[in-house]
Amino acid sequence: MRPLPLIIILLVLNHVAFNGSRIAVALFAIKQGASTLTVGSLMAMYALLPALTSVAAGRWIDRSGITRPMLIGTIGVGLGTLLPFLMPQLATLYVTSVLVGLSFMLLNVSVYHAVGEMSAPEERTVNFSYVALGFSTSTFVAPMLTGISIDALGYRACFLILALFTVLPLLALWGRLLPEITLREKHDLTPPGPVFDLLREPELRRLFIAMAILTVGWDIYNFAIPVYGAQIGLTPSQIGIVMGAFAAATFAVRLAMPFIVNRIQPWPLLVASLLVAGLAYLAVPFTDSVGVLMAITFLLGLGLGAPQPMVLTLLHQSAPEGRAAEALGLRTTLINTSQTVMPLVFGAMGAALGIAPLFWGMAAAMLGGSLFSRSKHKS
């Protein structure tokens, strides 16, 4: 099998376990009587260690390649999702959040680095679109699978099912079916400079800001939609269907990406995407209908799903020679720092003010980001 399809398959299987665990952890905590603040802290734990270690992980991947980090990441995701099956307690969910979040960070940085390195410049956006399609597939499968599994079999069985999705990736990586992908020459192995030297480049700074806003929007969606669905009386299966509409939209827009890249430049696309996502967040609290929520989350999926392949291409092209994975690691650090803080802030807001201000706060951030990106593009 060619490397790119195999990489995407391994990523999809691991991402089903990762994404499903976040939904299952949130819903299981709510079932055990946890407050919105507690759920927010659990979601923050997915991002805490990645925020502290992503740059070091990127430098390691730059030096060593992707096979070992992906193997370690797969083992961690599998163990993390298995723990609540073995010990179904609230305290266990914190261990799961930390272990799964850290492990999937290794997988995420490895895959993006591998695709960027193995692709010719003119192929990168399309290849990143294929990776994004893989994410859309797993984002569609994970919430529906999680909701149906919880309703039919219970929470413990759901975590076991999610852990089983890591078995095939583990066997493939353990058997070294994935060829090593590293293009760095020996003379490139000099120690890199300080990581924040990467931010001296204006284009990289703009990309980091844009990606942080988009990813925070994605993760607040993962945190807030299950909580909102539970509060308005939706079953886990209905919540899974609503979240599946989001994934279907990201799949559709990324499927069209090879046609979009020839017609729209990255920054205008980013401006429009942030605007659409902001309007969708603004509308969520005004309905408790499953059908209307599906329509809104579909619109949200279009807004959040469209710009990622183009932005990742620009990031890979703008990074200094031999520091592409480190730049991806810095991106992950900045994003996960926000992801660590935002769920705690939003969890506290939800406990004090209710769920609606969470969506409106995210809408303000998205709409503000759209105006910022538009002004920078014009300048």
Written as one letter, the residue type at 142 is: A
Are the C-beta atoms of 36 and 227 separated by less than 8 Å?
A: yes
Q: Among 32-41, 126-135, 172-181, 282-291, which stretch is predicted with the lowest mean pLDDT?
A: 172-181
Find tokens 């995420």 and name the residue. 108
Check whether 186 has a pLDDT greater than 50. no
Please give the average per-residue pLDDT across 27-49, as a whole number.
86
Q: Share the mean pLDDT of the chain.
A: 83
Per-residue pLDDT of 245-255, as tens digits, reads 988 888 888 88
The domain ranges of the chain are 3-178+195-378
Alpha-carbon span 6 to 36, nearest angstrom: 39
The size of the chain, in residues, is 379
Q: Quote the pLDDT of residue 179.
A: 64
Contact 298, 245 (CB under 8 A): yes
Q: Is the CB of residue 143 less than 8 Å from the CB of residue 243? A: yes
In which band, very low, low, confident or very high, does the pLDDT at 169 lie, cut at 50, 70 and 90? very high
* DSSP secondary structure of 139-163: HHHHHHHHHHHHHHH-HHHHHHHHH
76-117 pLDDT, tens digit per residue, is 999 999 999 999 999 999 999 999 999 999 998 888 888 887
Of the two residues 215 and 221, the one the predictor is more confident about is 221
Q: Which among 174, 189, 370, 185 has a CA at the least distance from the CA of 281?
A: 370
CATH of domain 3-178+195-378: 1.20.1250.20
Tell me the whole-structure pTM to 2 decimals: 0.73
Q: Answer yes or no: are the C-beta atoms of 212 and 338 closer than 8 Å.
A: yes
In the predicted model, is pLDDT for residue 233 greater than 80? yes
SS3 content of the chain, % helix, strand, coil (to 5): 85, 0, 15
* Interhelix angle 124-153/308-318, nearest 10 degrees: 130
Helix (H, G, I), strand (E, B) or coil at 372: helix
Q: What confidence tier does 184 reach under pLDDT thresholds 50, 70, 90?
A: very low
DSSP sequence for 236-267: HHHHHHHHHHHHHHHHHHHHTHHHHTTTS-HH
